[in-house]
């Protein structure tokens, strides 16, 4: 505890003396209570949060959800580390948190593998690890206390089932349907689950042809670049499956630059994932047919879990967050009014 208090004190001292350091990025992004708020670190539950990056609107909403909950006013001291989409930065962050003897580690693992050693170190240090959003594959499930997030495979299945119904309504049953997919970060559980879930439905539709699946890295720039190449490679694409909205935004730019059209009145059906506000606006403009929500607002649920653990309670190992989907037939203006991200 002394070591941790000293390190926290040093960080607060550095920030208060060398405020200018913040402008040069010398001090990592840490939620530091104001001086008068930092009485005794025992007053706070110290959280180390390793976040993947800031690659998408979804990710920023996810980060915002944690930062809005883990505040000094709510009794938390948050150490936040942005890994810039690199697993090695997450491994370093977790080890830093262990050295600082945080009370809890929250980890959003960029990919599913490569976590056993660092999680064993956290377990040896008796620091509970709560996994959020993406999932991992480890040799010992005791390496983490619980996981909170989305059922990615179910998201993919729902998208496939929606397309089945849509094609039926359009009178296109039995027609050959040529599909391409923009995938998210390879080996991330979001990519694996969405791809597998949609494939579950493809495999029962003999007329559906999956022409290609390419990595769009969950970013708008890569999504546009890859979609441009797919349009040059395949003449008559009927459906785009895009595993997050930011890739979809890039793909729509590529489709329109190629003189093609998309959405309910276009020649390419666009199905996306995340359902951020900007995507609902694209849907209002008639450019996206359907969007499958991936709820980023995990902060309150994780805080509830920590409170249960603080009270010595038991928590479920796997905790799915509620999700829905949206399509162009719905009252999108009302939906936009209700959505917070």
The binding site for ligand GZL (CB under 6 A) comprises 55-56, 58-59, 133-134, 150, 190, 218, 244, 273-274, 294
**Nearest residue (CB) to ligand GZL, 106 versus 167:** 106
Q: Closer CB to ligand GZL, residue 62 or residue 289?
A: 62
Task: Pick the closer one to ligand GZL by CB: 182 or 190.
Answer: 190
Give me the count of residues in the chain.
341
56 vs 145, which CB is nearer to ligand GZL? 56
Do the Cβ atoms of 142 and 121 come closer than 8 Å?
A: no
User: Is residue 116 within 8 Å of residue 70, measured between CB atoms?
Assistant: no
Least distance CB 62 / ligand GZL (angstroms): 7
Of 100 and 242, CB closest to ligand GZL: 242
Cβ at position 14, least distance to ligand GZL in Å: 32
Q: How far is Cα 190 from Cα 193, in angstroms, rounded to an integer?
A: 5
Q: Measuring CA to CA, how many Å separate 183 from each of 80, 170, 177, 198, 238?
A: 28, 26, 19, 12, 17
Pairing mode, if any, of strands 104-107 and 45-51? parallel
- Give me the least distance between CB of 15 and ligand GZL, in Å please: 30
DSSP 143-205: GSSEEEE--HHHHHHHHHHHHHHHHHHTT-TTS-EEEEEEE-STT-HHHHHHHHHHHHHHTT-
Burial 116-154 (b: 16+ CB within 10 A, else e): eebbeebbeeebbbbbbbbbbebeeeebbbbbbbbbbbb
């Amino acid at each position: 505890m002394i070591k941790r208090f000293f390190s926290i004190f040093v960080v607060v001292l550095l920030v208060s003396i060398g405020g200018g350091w913040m402008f040069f990025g010398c001090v990592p992004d840490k939620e530091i209570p104001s001086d008068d708020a930092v009485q005794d670190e025992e007053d706070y539950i110290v959280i180390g949060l390793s976040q993947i990056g800031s690659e998408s609107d979804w990710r920023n909403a996810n980060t915002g959800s944690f930062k809005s909950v883990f505040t000094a006013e709510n009794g938390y001291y948050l150490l936040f580390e942005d890994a810039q989409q690199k697993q090695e930065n997450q491994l370093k962050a977790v080890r830093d948190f262990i050295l600082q003897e945080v009370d809890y580690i929250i980890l959003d693992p960029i990919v599913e593998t490569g976590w056993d050693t660092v999680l064993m170190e956290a377990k040896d240090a008796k620091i509970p690890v709560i996994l959020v959003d993406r999932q991992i594959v480890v040799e010992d499930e005791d390496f983490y206390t619980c996981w909170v997030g989305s059922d990615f495979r179910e998201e993919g299945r729902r998208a496939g089932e929606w397309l089945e119904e849509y094609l039926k309504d359009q009178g296109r049953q039995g027609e050959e349907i040529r599909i391409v997919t923009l995938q998210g970060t390879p080996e991330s559980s979001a990519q694996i689950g969405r791809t597998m879930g949609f494939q579950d439905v493809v495999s029962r539709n003999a007329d559906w042809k999956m022409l290609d699946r390419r990595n769009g890295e969950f970013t708008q720039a890569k999504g546009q670049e890859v979609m441009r190449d797919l349009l040059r490679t395949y003449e008559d694409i009927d459906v785009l499956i895009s595993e997050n909205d930011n890739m979809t935004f890039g793909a729509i730019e590529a489709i329109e630059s190629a003189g093609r059209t998309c959405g309910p009145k276009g020649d390419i059906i666009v199905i996306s994932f995340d359902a951020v506000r900007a995507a609902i606006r694209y849907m209002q403009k008639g450019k996206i047919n359907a969007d499958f929500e991936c709820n980023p607002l995990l902060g309150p649920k994780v805080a509830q879990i920590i409170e249960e653990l603080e009270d010595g309670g038991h928590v479920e190992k796997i905790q799915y967050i509620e999700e829905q989907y949206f399509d162009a037939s719905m009252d999108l203006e009302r939906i936009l009014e209700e959505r917070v991200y």
